[in-house]
Amino acid sequence: MPFLFEKIVFVWWILFIITMSHGIRLEYPDSDSSEEMRSIRYDIKGMGRKMVHYINHINATWKAGYNKRFENVDMRVIRGMMGFRPLSDHLRPQLPVKISSRLLGDEDIPDQFDSRDNWPQCPTMKEVRDQSNCGSCWAFGAVEAMSDRACIASLNKDKPHISANDLLSCCSGCGFGCDGGDPRAAWEYWVSSGLVTGGTFITHDGCQPYPFAPCDHHVNGTLKPCSHDLEPTPQCKKQCQSSYTVPYTQDKHFGKRAYTISSDVKEIQKEIMTNGPVEVAFSVYEDFLTYKTGVYKHHAGSPLGGHAVKMIGWGTDGGTPYWLVVNSWNTDWGDKGLFKILRGKDECGIESEVTAGLPKTNHVKRNRGLIENTY
C-alpha cells in the first residue's frame, strides 16, 4: 500500500513538471458578450494578471498592463478612492443646463481638439495632479477645470492654481471630504464662497497646498507606494500657510455661475472648445485599473464606484471616437496620467454627468470671434 501511494505521488509530480515546462495557456471567450468575461475579477495578489491577459487577448480598442499599486491593498481602499458621491435629490444643487451659443454651429466642431494645444499659455492645462489615497477626485476634477477656465477667461492674465485642499476640507455641503463628494456642489461653492490658491504637496506653494504626498497609483513607478489605508479629511482652516503673504480672504477666487451640460456630444464639445475643460464623472470597473493606452471601453470586472475627472478634448484613434481625459492618479498611471474613453455611447456614464462654470473676471473672453457670456 505505501508503495502504491509513492507511485501515485511520483506520477503526479512528473505531470506537474511537464505542465509547468510547457507553460499554462489561459483560455478566454472569443466574444466579450459572454457571461464569462463579466466574472473575470481584478486579483489583488496577482496584480490583475488574468484581467490584463484577457483584455489584451480580445482585440479591444485599448491595452492593459500590470499594476503593482494594488498588490495586497484592501479593496475597501481602492473603492474609497472613487469619490464621486452625488448628494440626495433634496440636497443636490439644481444647477441650470447650459445651452451653447447659437453663433457656434455643429460645422464649427473640429474632428480633434486638445485644450492643451488650444490654450498653451495656461500652465495648469498640462498638469496632472495626484489625489493620493483620498477620495477627493470630485474636488480635483473641479479645481483643475476652474484653474484652466480662470486663465482662459482672463486672456492668460490670471493663472491661479486653485486649491483642492480648500474645497476638500471647507465645503461641508459638498459631501464627505476624503470619503467623497458631489461635483455640482463643488462648483456652486466656488460661486458662493470662492476658493483660495494652493499648489501640490511637492511645490507647497499658494495659500493652501495639498496635504497628502503623491504616491505610486496602480503601477510600480518612481514614487513611494501609497499607504494601505485611506487618508482622513483635512481640518478646515480658513487661513493661509505662514510662508504665504496674502491673507486667506483676499486670496479667494470666485466663480460667476455654475451649470451642467446636457449629455449631447456636440453640446459638450462646444462647451469645451468655447470655455475650456469640464468636470465629468463616470462609473469605474475593475478593468479600468489596468488601462495603459488606447480608447477605453468596459469589458470585464465588477463596479468599484464613481470617479470624477477633467475632460479636455476629443478625437479619433484607429477609427474609434474618444474623449480625452485627465486623471488625478499622477503621471505614472495610464497614458502619462491621461486616458481616452469611448465617445458618443455614454460609456460608463461619462456623458451623463458634466459640470462646469464661468469665473468672475474683468476680462471679456473672445473665442473664434464669439463672446460667450450668456446661457
pLDDT level of residue 71 (50, 70, 90 thresholds): low
Beta bridge partner(s), residue 75: none
Give yes or no for a contact between 223 and 216, defined as CB atoms under 8 angstroms apart. Answer: yes
- Specify the higher pLDDT residue, 119 or 51: 119
89-101 pLDDT tens trace: 999 999 999 988 7
How many Å apart are CA 243 and CA 236, to the nearest integer?
18
Work out how many domains the chain is built from and give that number: 1
Lowest mean pLDDT among 9-23, 58-72, 78-92, 185-199: 9-23
How many Å apart are CA 179 and CA 167, to the nearest integer?
13
Q: Does a structural domain hold residue 24?
A: no
Amino acid 373: pLDDT: 42
Full residue range of the structural domain in which residue 344 is found: 40-371
Amino acid 341: pLDDT: 98
Q: Does a structural domain hold residue 4?
A: no
Q: Which amino acid is at 288?
A: F
Neighbours of 63 (CB within 10 A): 15
**Res. 236: pLDDT tops 80:** yes
Q: Does a structural domain hold residue 18?
A: no
pLDDT level of residue 26 (50, 70, 90 thresholds): very low
Which region, left, alpha or beta, applies to residue 33 given φ > 0 means left and ψ of -120 to 50 means alpha?
Answer: alpha
Q: Does a structural domain hold residue 168?
A: yes
Q: Which of 45-59, 191-205, 305-319 has maximum average pLDDT?
A: 305-319
Amino acid 74: pLDDT: 77
Neighbours of 194 (CB within 10 A): 16
pLDDT level of residue 17 (50, 70, 90 thresholds): very low
pLDDT level of residue 40 (50, 70, 90 thresholds): low
CATH of the domain at 48: 3.90.70.10
Of 53, 256, 288, whose CA–CA distance to 149 is shortest? 256
pLDDT level of residue 203 (50, 70, 90 thresholds): confident
Q: What are phi and psi of 14, to 5 degrees?
A: -65, -45
Which region, left, alpha or beta, applies to residue 337 given φ > 0 means left and ψ of -120 to 50 means alpha?
Answer: left
Look at strands 338-342 and 291-296 and give their pairing. parallel
C-alpha cell at 161: 492654481
Q: Which of 212-226, 293-307, 360-374 has maximum average pLDDT?
A: 293-307
Lowest mean pLDDT among 50-64, 93-107, 215-229, 282-296: 215-229
Q: Does a structural domain hold residue 29?
A: no
Q: Mean pLDDT in the chain?
A: 85
**Res. 15: pLDDT tops 60:** no
Amino acid 75: pLDDT: 82
Q: What percent of the chain has pLDDT over 70?
A: 78
Give yes or no for a contact between 40 and 268, defined as CB atoms under 8 angstroms apart. Answer: no
**Res. 23: pLDDT tops 50:** no
Catalytic center residues: 137, 307, 327
Helix (H, G, I), strand (E, B) or coil at 276: coil
Helix (H, G, I), strand (E, B) or coil at 151: helix
pLDDT level of residue 7 (50, 70, 90 thresholds): very low
Contacts of 140 (CB under 8 A, 6+ apart): 129, 131, 164, 308, 309, 310, 328
Amino acid 135: pLDDT: 96
**Res. 35: pLDDT tops 90:** no
Average pLDDT over residues 24-52: 55
| Alpha helical stretches, state H, the chain | 2-22, 35-39, 49-57, 75-80, 115-118, 137-153, 164-170, 183-192, 265-275
- Specify the higher pLDDT residue, 79 or 18: 79
Handedness of CA 132, 135, 137, 142 (dihedral sign): negative
Average pLDDT over residues 69-97: 87
Average pLDDT over residues 314-336: 94
Handedness of CA 314, 316, 317, 322 (dihedral sign): positive
Q: What angle do CA 169, 170, 171 make, to 5 degrees?
A: 105
Q: Does a structural domain hold residue 69?
A: yes
Q: Does a structural domain hold residue 145?
A: yes
Q: Does a structural domain hold residue 8?
A: no
Helix (H, G, I), strand (E, B) or coil at 348: helix
Give yes or no for a contact between 295 and 167, defined as CB atoms under 8 angstroms apart. Answer: no
Average pLDDT over residues 134-155: 97
Q: Is 107 exposed, middle or buried (0-12, 13-18, 19+ CB in 10 A)?
A: exposed
Task: Give the predicted TM-score (pTM) of the model.
Answer: 0.85
Amino acid 136: pLDDT: 97
